[in-house]
Amino acid sequence: MSAVKLSKAYSIYGASMGRRAYHGNTETTARFSVTYVPLDNGGYDNGGAYWGTGERLWRAFAECADSECGQIEFFMRARSRQDVIAEVRKQYPQARFFNSKA
Protein backbone atom coordinates (compact mmCIF):
# COMPACT_ATOMS: atom_id res chain seq x y z
CA MET A 1 0.00 0.00 0.00
CA SER A 2 1.48 3.34 -1.01
CA ALA A 3 1.26 6.47 1.09
CA VAL A 4 -1.06 9.29 0.13
CA LYS A 5 0.85 12.04 -1.68
CA LEU A 6 0.27 15.21 0.30
CA SER A 7 0.40 18.72 -1.11
CA LYS A 8 3.49 20.88 -0.75
CA ALA A 9 3.67 22.42 2.72
CA TYR A 10 6.79 24.53 2.61
CA SER A 11 8.13 27.69 0.99
CA ILE A 12 11.35 29.65 0.88
CA TYR A 13 10.54 30.65 4.46
CA GLY A 14 10.47 27.07 5.77
CA ALA A 15 8.03 24.26 6.52
CA SER A 16 4.52 24.71 7.83
CA MET A 17 3.80 23.34 11.28
CA GLY A 18 1.33 20.57 10.54
CA ARG A 19 -1.53 21.07 8.13
CA ARG A 20 -4.83 22.92 8.12
CA ALA A 21 -7.94 21.02 9.24
CA TYR A 22 -11.20 21.22 7.28
CA HIS A 23 -14.43 20.21 8.99
CA GLY A 24 -17.82 19.96 7.31
CA ASN A 25 -21.35 18.95 8.14
CA THR A 26 -21.26 16.85 11.33
CA GLU A 27 -24.44 15.02 10.28
CA THR A 28 -22.87 13.63 7.12
CA THR A 29 -23.12 9.96 6.23
CA ALA A 30 -20.09 10.25 3.97
CA ARG A 31 -17.48 7.51 3.83
CA PHE A 32 -14.19 8.40 5.46
CA SER A 33 -10.79 7.18 4.51
CA VAL A 34 -8.40 6.87 7.46
CA THR A 35 -4.77 6.45 6.45
CA TYR A 36 -1.46 6.36 8.24
CA VAL A 37 0.86 9.25 7.36
CA PRO A 38 4.51 8.18 7.50
CA LEU A 39 6.99 10.75 8.77
CA ASP A 40 10.70 10.86 8.06
CA ASN A 41 13.29 10.77 10.85
CA GLY A 42 13.03 14.55 11.22
CA GLY A 43 9.24 14.50 11.72
CA TYR A 44 8.22 15.73 8.23
CA ASP A 45 5.48 14.25 6.02
CA ASN A 46 6.02 13.61 2.29
CA GLY A 47 4.75 17.11 1.43
CA GLY A 48 7.21 18.83 3.75
CA ALA A 49 4.93 19.75 6.69
CA TYR A 50 6.60 19.44 10.08
CA TRP A 51 4.86 17.32 12.73
CA GLY A 52 7.66 16.39 15.10
CA THR A 53 7.89 12.94 16.59
CA GLY A 54 5.53 11.01 18.83
CA GLU A 55 2.55 8.73 18.25
CA ARG A 56 1.61 7.75 14.72
CA LEU A 57 0.06 10.43 12.53
CA TRP A 58 -3.22 9.69 10.72
CA ARG A 59 -5.28 11.48 8.06
CA ALA A 60 -9.10 11.36 8.07
CA PHE A 61 -10.64 12.41 4.78
CA ALA A 62 -14.20 12.37 3.42
CA GLU A 63 -14.72 12.79 -0.28
CA CYS A 64 -18.20 13.97 -1.18
CA ALA A 65 -19.67 14.12 -4.65
CA ASP A 66 -21.88 17.06 -3.70
CA SER A 67 -22.08 19.64 -0.94
CA GLU A 68 -23.69 17.15 1.45
CA CYS A 69 -20.68 17.17 3.78
CA GLY A 70 -18.43 19.97 2.64
CA GLN A 71 -14.68 19.45 2.65
CA ILE A 72 -13.50 17.22 5.47
CA GLU A 73 -9.83 16.52 6.05
CA PHE A 74 -7.92 16.53 9.29
CA PHE A 75 -4.91 14.91 10.91
CA MET A 76 -4.50 13.41 14.34
CA ARG A 77 -2.09 11.43 16.45
CA ALA A 78 -3.21 8.03 17.69
CA ARG A 79 -1.86 4.56 18.42
CA SER A 80 -4.11 2.78 15.95
CA ARG A 81 -6.54 3.24 13.08
CA GLN A 82 -9.37 2.06 15.35
CA ASP A 83 -8.56 4.86 17.82
CA VAL A 84 -8.84 7.38 14.98
CA ILE A 85 -12.16 5.90 13.85
CA ALA A 86 -13.49 6.24 17.40
CA GLU A 87 -12.48 9.92 17.47
CA VAL A 88 -14.00 10.60 14.04
CA ARG A 89 -17.27 9.01 15.23
CA LYS A 90 -17.36 11.49 18.14
CA GLN A 91 -17.41 14.38 15.65
CA TYR A 92 -19.31 12.63 12.83
CA PRO A 93 -21.64 10.07 14.48
CA GLN A 94 -23.10 8.81 11.18
CA ALA A 95 -19.76 8.46 9.40
CA ARG A 96 -18.96 5.32 7.45
CA PHE A 97 -15.46 4.09 6.71
CA PHE A 98 -13.62 2.48 3.81
CA ASN A 99 -11.93 -0.86 4.48
CA SER A 100 -13.29 -1.16 7.97
CA LYS A 101 -15.73 -3.25 9.97
CA ALA A 102 -16.20 -0.27 12.32
Residue 34 · residue 81 · CB < 8 Å:
yes
Taking only the tens place, the pLDDT of each residue in 77-99 is 999 999 999 999 999 999 889 87
Give the separation between CA 28 and CA 92, rounded to whole angstroms.
7
The string of DSSP letters for 33-82 reads: EEEEE---TTSB-TTS-B--SSSPEEEEEE--SSTTS--EEEEEE-SSHH
Task: Please tell me the predicted confidence (pLDDT) of residue 83.
Answer: 97
Taking only the tens place, the pLDDT of each residue in 35-81 is 999 999 999 999 999 999 999 999 999 877 556 667 899 999 999 99
Kindly report whether the global pTM for this prediction surpasses the value 0.85: no
Task: Please tell me the predicted confidence (pLDDT) of residue 1.
Answer: 47
Q: Where are the domains of the chain?
A: 18-97
Average pLDDT over residues 27-32: 87
Give the separation between CA 14 and CA 59, rounded to whole angstroms.
22
